[in-house]
Chains A and B, each alone.
Chain A
């Protein structure tokens, strides 16, 4: 954004002053408006900023925002001399803002994130604290959380983040009503998926909804196909920097099958211009224009609020991704976000770090917060919540998510989060082209092999 600002300003100034003013003013206005969207949308004044007050930035959008806010408020009420001051940001704006703030040495005490490759880049720049010994000294904090949640928080054997909030596996959703009308049953294998495609298309119903412009939605398909065909080792090899890992026959097979599904019109018409942020992909499923959708467990909440009685009347079906015939992967494997993560900024003062650690151990995922997460249709990353899940109004779905998350042989992290930002951008770029059918699996593999280890 800064570079963009500079170039436009510089060039216009070389023309007549009057025109500069005429052109510059709307441009400046547009730019400040654009920058404004990444600024803090709300600053909370939670009492004076004493020496022990730590700062915490997190994401907007309800109901999650309310839970995060309540947790901070509970902590502040219980600890008058160790306050947490919070600021909220919209999701995409936050990702850019936090990066810039860390680069400028002005990050908050508590850094919210998704672990994986981005956390690794913070660690290699020395910007976040190693929490391994702190977890060692506080085993109660560590042991009550899902063990799978610590994977993306770990860089080279050391833990740099506290897992928090909810587990979010990717789920294959389907519209039961549409299945009944067409007279078919949910797919039990990849062969069934390909058989279902012409049956739905013949009735004018899109087999799969997909918000393809967001690119990571397309990525989820490849993640599952890679896992089901070749097991988690295929992507792990690429992640660990093995040369030519993307040319693995299992990888090429998975990429080919993805393109086969696109060629068979498996995805809704115009999928590459639909964004996931607008929830239009969910709307296609609950309005019956699409029969199935592969998406994160977080869309359940959106579909129950936006979809009328779609969820409450039991029309929403859900299952784990089906196996691929002859594939090596374990059908219980899943992937997605094993948790969200909180790290401590290494340049914060000792008092701020103390407050942050106390916040981690006493306020994060307290009994009250757990209750709130379950209330929104999410499964917190805490073990032994089954009894609470089963009394919720979304009991079936929550127990399904709990079972998938804890029963998975491997709970892999989403690729774009696991990889470094540089490799992730190349990956998403190539996925978009693969789904446009403008490159073939070989070209995809070649392009990706070039960024292995970057």
Chain B
């Protein structure tokens, strides 16, 4: 990773996101809820519009020209995503509705075939609910249980006991690459290596990673990886499950329907090959096209360049927020081990109150438990205020955030 980085023109980038021009309660919008969803650049909006205006037809079915064109366009995105993740094969990329569905797919299909009573699934103490609940559901069904990798005060996973935990009947490890609640970048390489020493596959929830870091599934040697389009500047309703070919071939289908079958009689159905085995029904074609445009957009900017630019704003934010009386960061302090997310509290002010007063100043943050209740319990707090960054955020916006927090603190102190 030594290639030169290029300084991105953030002002020019901002112009490509029409929504950033709007005002909220008379203030220019400061959008800092990017971990929930990112805004969409013109490239994505135009690609989807163009798809519906000129190409729209159902894929893989029709012999007619449009259907073939639509099929080619969607399959080209599959190849693009495979390249983006450095996957070995395009058919290792499954289109889903998002990270949540990707995880549910693996939990259901893997669990059905491989999980049995007395075994366990290993997750971490900083998972999003969508990387907890699907596993709980299949564990309940199978009489298996969840084991949890603990976290320390700095928002880091404690891996001291990992080997011992892996020996205790773990069937799969499911952890997030970057925590949505704290922004911690987890040592997933280490976890994957440890799991593989015990012959255990690993699923990475990369929903908060792919928009900030370069991800290479072969280098990571990860078995499954999930992400959502809408958190990487693409449309909602579409996402990706990457799976190693050998694993995906082993798993039974998730949902039944059209497209995922080879032959159907009332006696027996044979299933289609990868990737279609896991794509029942008409896919979200416009979504796939939009995802493709988003990934091309990110590739054109360059993830290394994005990382440098976001790191600069993150460091600046940590500095200006650090100067606010009573403000405490939840999780680690080191910007190098943090991607996209700053979670904090001010004095004894409830995060909802703080979020409300920031909102009134046109600053959009998330407040609450960020769908990661166990981590809030770990810190014994009701939630945090979370400011999450994307490529279009600026130092000036961090100044607005800091000023907004000071105003709120005066108000609520």
Q: Do A and B bind? A: no
